[in-house]
Structure 1
Amino acid sequence: MKKRKPQIVVLSDVHLGTRECQADSLLAYLSSIRPATLVLNGDIFDFERFDKAYFPPSHFKVLKKILGLAASGTTVYYLTGNRDQVFRKFTGTTLGNLQIRDKLLLNLDGRKTWIFHGDICDLAGTQTKWVVRLGALGYRLLFLANRGFNRVRRLTGRGPYSLARRAGQNRAAAGHRERFEKSVVDLALENRYDTVICGHIHHPKKAWRETPKGNCLYLNSGDWVESLTALEYHFKRWKLYKYQEDKLLPFFADEELKGMDMNQLISSILEITETNKDKKTTDGSGD
């Protein structure tokens, strides 16, 4: 099946290792594209909730697919977020086509573009730990309730409904998003960037922001828990890709991934990792 070839793809907030992660949908999306550059913009893993007892084959397949893209020539940047900040001690590390960084600066057709996760601009991060943990617990309980609620809806012939998205539409949530976006844009303009891309708040968006300091294109890649969105750069413009609306063909996971058991997946991932290490040594590339 023919794959689309966008120049750049940015995705964030996958939250591998949690039950909310929509790994099957992400795998189908990744199988439909072959980008020149893939930016993983933070919280790809969720180490704050990581449970060794829960990491199903679909999550391993996502890792295998990403590493396979790197092995086949795609430049992959892993930008660290707040949920996978354990990787920040490896910032600057390069393994073949895979690079770990905390931010990415690009010049795209004359526009200075800054890509980072966004957690440093989240005013909610100044709250005490118990408030943050309480909010995270409430979010998880909402998803569990949503799962049971949608089972009932399916039995009655109705489509899925997102309680989390509904909760996110209230005035307080909208106010928080507005403050976050303003903080991101102000910081970008202070550093003379024309475009700023982040994730973190699970709210996909593409908008021109006009301020007294100047104008800036604000982009948020959303998440693969609720929104199932990504950003694609092609033909000198950014598009907000929405999996549930934009998939025009019935893409499925690559055949080589569909039939693999857990041991085969792990062996395959290790093999790709070793190949990337060997390539780094052969190329003589440094960190």
Structure 2
Amino acid sequence: MKKRQLDLAVISDIHLGTLSCHADELLSYLNSIKPKTLILNGDIIDIGQFSKRYFPATHLKVLRKIMGMATSGTEVYYITGNHDDMIRRFSGTSLGNIHVVDKLSLELNGKRAWFFHGDVFDITIKNAKWVAKLGAYSYDLLLLFNKITNLVLLKLGREKYSLAKKIKHNVSGARNFIKNFEHAAKELAIENNYDYVICGHIHQPNKEIYENELGKCTYLNSGDWVENLTALEYTFKRWKIYRYSSDKLSAFYVDEELKNMNLQDLMAAASIHMATQTKSTKKEKI
């Protein structure tokens, strides 16, 4: 199966290590593309809820796949989010083609693009972390209950139903939060002379041109791999929202020899990758 060549792919809010993560579907997507640059826009590993008792092989394969893409030449930027904020202590460091950052600015065909997760706008996370954690656990319980409900609906021959989406669209507080989040991102982007602003965090995939008296920008949100199963793709000077439900491709594995890799093997592969990149850098200097 031929891979789609992309200039840039953006994924966020994967929440590896949680029951709500759709790792199999994400692997299918990652195995179908070959981007020059891959941006992981926050909440990739849910460190806040990480447990040694629950980290399935498929979740590990996602990490291995991303490392494999970096080894094959893809520039990978890991932008930290609120669920993986412990990684922020490593911000500014690189491991071969994998770079850890808090935010990122790129030039795409003469236009300025600004990438950040978006939790900077969340006052709850800043001022009351325990409230944010309680909300995260409640959200996961809701998704788990929704998953059980959908299994029953499928057996009855009925369509799946998203409780989380229903709540977001019908609860005024949730609607206002999303609206305020998107407005703040757009205004800040124009104020800082960016043509594109790309976020995650709110699990709401979106592509929208916004204009005010100071200028205009394109606001984009990569959505998530918990509810929506979406990503952003940039190629031929255009942005597209990839939706797994409608753009679905058959899962396949190009790393068959690595399919059964465990955590120890993964760490060993990381060390080899780092050593290879260091040797390559030394040769370039010579």
- Aligned in 2, Cα 1:218/1:281: closer, same or farther, shift over 3 Å? same
Q: What's the offset of the Cα at 1:147?
A: 2.0
TM-score (norm 1): 0.92
Q: Kindly, what percent of the aligned residue pairs are identical?
A: 50
1:242 aligned partner: 243
2:220 aligned partner: 219
Q: Are 2:42 and 2:82, in contact at CA under 8 Å, matched by a contact in 1? A: yes
Q: How does 1:31-50 map to 2 (within 5 A)?
A: 31-50=31-50
Q: What's the offset of the Cα at 1:145?
A: 1.6
2:206 aligned partner: 205
The worse-fitting range, judged by mean Cα deviation, of 271-280 and 57-66 is 271-280
The worse-fitting range, judged by mean Cα deviation, of 10-19 and 166-175 is 166-175
1:266 aligned partner: 263
Structure 2: which amino acid aligns with 1:43?
D
1:80 paired with 2:77, answer: no
The unaligned stretches of length 5 or more in structure 1 are none
1:159 aligned partner: 159
Q: Are 1:91 and 1:102, in contact at CA under 8 Å, matched by a contact in 2? A: yes
Q: Displaced runs of 4+ in structure 1, greater than 6 A?
A: none
Q: Secondary structure at the match of 1:83?
A: coil
Q: 1:72-113: CA deviations, max 9, x gaps? A: 111111111111111111111111111111111111111111
Structure 2: which amino acid aligns with 1:224?
W
1:21 aligned partner: 21
Q: Are 1:67 and 1:269, in contact at CA under 8 Å, matched by a contact in 2? A: no
Structure 2: which amino acid aligns with 1:270?
M
Q: How does 1:112-261 map to 2 (within 5 A)?
A: 112-126=112-126, 128-170=128-170, 171-247=172-248, 249-254=249-254, 256=256, 260-261=259-260
Q: What's the offset of the Cα at 1:185?
A: 1.3
Counterpart CA distance in 2 for 1:81 and 1:126 is: 12
The worse-fitting range, judged by mean Cα deviation, of 153-162 and 213-222 is 153-162
Counterpart CA distance in 1 for 2:38 and 2:174 is: 30
Q: What's the offset of the Cα at 1:267?
A: 4.5
Counterpart CA distance in 2 for 1:11 and 1:218 is: 15
The worse-fitting range, judged by mean Cα deviation, of 39-48 and 206-215 is 206-215
Counterpart CA distance in 2 for 1:159 and 1:277 is: 47
TM-score (norm 2): 0.93
Q: Secondary structure at the match of 1:66?
A: helix
Q: What's the offset of the Cα at 1:127?
A: 5.3
| RMSD over aligned Cα atoms | 1.9
Q: What's the offset of the Cα at 1:126?
A: 4.9
Q: Are 1:64 and 1:265, in contact at CA under 8 Å, matched by a contact in 2? A: no
Counterpart CA distance in 2 for 1:129 and 1:102 is: 19
| Length, aligned pairs only | 282
- Aligned in 2, Cα 1:271/1:143: closer, same or farther, shift over 3 Å? same
